[in-house]
Amino acid sequence: MKYLYLLQQSLIWIITIYWAYQIVVSFCSLIKLKDKKLLIEKDHKFMAVIPAHNEEAVIKNLVDSLQEQDYPRELYDIYVIADNCNDNTAKIAKDAGAIVLKRFDEEHKTKGFALNWFLQQKIEEDADYDALCVFDADNIVDKNFLKNMNKKLCQGEEVVQGYRDIKNPTDSWISSGYAIFYWMMHRFYHLARYNLGLSPLLNGTGFMVKFDLLKPDGWQTETLTEDIEYSLINIAEGRKLGWAVDAIVYDEQPTTFKASWSQRSRWSVGHLQCMKRYTKDLAKGVKENKTLMNFDGLLYMFGIPMMLLTFLLLGINTLLYIGAEMTFADLIGNFSRYLIATFILPVVTGTLIMALEKKEIKPMIKGILCYPLFLGSWILINIKCLIKPTTTWEKIEHVRDINIEEVSSNTIN
């Protein structure tokens, strides 16, 4: 029992220090910093790139919103990669004014493969672009997106994530859960780290990459979460990512638990793939660069391991109780601490983040109350993916036909 007690105390310290660090960093999101100085004054030329697989229901609204950018029209082109499509995505996108490239490859279906296929052509052409912005086909883009990303380029930033807002936050408790999760990540992870001089992460869509960074290799990712993977590659190399809170993109989220389970399972498997592939590189980056940014990037990998350590701690507490080394009251207190953190605290933090982000709470009450179920189900997803990871990509259907004017008028701000 002596060794169990020592292991218990070690786990308590490890878990406590890990979460204390995360909380302290999160508070830095409340700091308002001066904007960075412009290093140059230039209107850069952009590619707006949209990988799309059978997205005829939503692609027009995205292309239309890009056509209406408050940015010189001759300085950006809109490309739609019609990726293994068998519907009218290509025709609708072309009619809306996009340049359409058709790709057919049944063995390589993910966004990463489509991006690399596209970029290899542009690199070979030596296309005269300064940067590319990547969007999912279900997105709608705020009219100031390119203007604000251009500002980030002028400030010397090379890889920048925009603000991923939600176009259907009140459709169901599932889409509400996504909305609260993203709003929390935006403030307590991305903004907090950006304020501290650490690195945010790319978030799947609405991000910008300087074209020169992608030469000559293109988009070389291997996992199911190409956005996180590309972020970790840059952090391991000592490159800090940027954050653009005023470059806004609206994203459609799943409304059913089944679709959400499938999508979040892919994210969890992708996270595990990144752990296996990049933990060593991140640790090497910590050793070579000796910066808090590299250390913070390495800590990102420890989310699922911390969950497992927490389960181990609870198991050890149970054994100590069985061995009469812990009272029943102490055992219940230990379990209650984690139950409260999982099922009570998210309601409080969800309400807090909506207040900080100036979102209207009333339409989201059901989502706030169900938010603990949304996060709790993620624990089950992680366990399932550890036992039986599914590495096949499954399409999430996008059907929310809504344009930028409707999103602006229906916003819950």
Q: How far apart are CA 129 and CA 211, in angstroms?
A: 7
For residue 327, being part of any structural domain is answered with no
What would the pLDDT profile of 16-64 be if each residue is shown by its tens digit?
999 999 999 999 999 888 889 999 999 999 999 999 999 999 999 999 9
What are the residues facing 79 on neighbouring strands?
A: 49, 99
User: Residue 3's pLDDT band (boundaries 50, 70, 90)?
Assistant: confident
The domain tally of the chain equals 1
186's CB contacts (< 8 A; 6+ apart) are: 163, 164, 245, 357
Q: Is residue 167 exposed (0-12), middle (13-18) or buried (19+ Cβ within 10 Å)?
A: buried
Tokens 């910093």 locate to 33
pLDDT recorded at residue 294: 95
Q: Is 82 helix (H, G, I), strand (E, B) or coil?
A: strand
User: Given phi > 0 = left and psi -120 to 50 = alpha, else beta, which region is 218?
Assistant: left
User: Residue 202's pLDDT band (boundaries 50, 70, 90)?
Assistant: very high
Q: How far apart are CA 159 and CA 213, in angstroms?
A: 9
pLDDT at 189 > cutoff 80: yes
The CATH code of the domain that includes 184 is 3.90.550.10
Report which of 309, 306, 330 is spatially closest to residue 320, judged by C-alpha positions. Answer: 330
What would the pLDDT profile of 231-267 be if each residue is shown by its tens digit?
999 999 999 999 999 999 999 999 999 999 999 999 9
For residue 350, being part of any structural domain is answered with no
For residue 345, being part of any structural domain is answered with no
The Cα-based distances of 260 to 131, 199, 249 in angstroms read 32, 27, 20
For residue 377, being part of any structural domain is answered with no
Write out the residue range of the structural domain in which residue 93 sits.
33-286
310's CB contacts (< 8 A; 6+ apart) are: 15, 338
For residue 13, being part of any structural domain is answered with no
The continuous run of DSSP H or E covering 330 comes out as: helix 328-343
For residue 152, being part of any structural domain is answered with yes
Q: How far apart are CA 314 and CA 169, in angstroms?
A: 35
For residue 295, being part of any structural domain is answered with no
What would the pLDDT profile of 70-117 be if each residue is shown by its tens digit?
999 999 999 999 999 999 999 999 999 999 999 998 888 788 899 999
For residue 336, being part of any structural domain is answered with no
pLDDT recorded at residue 405: 67
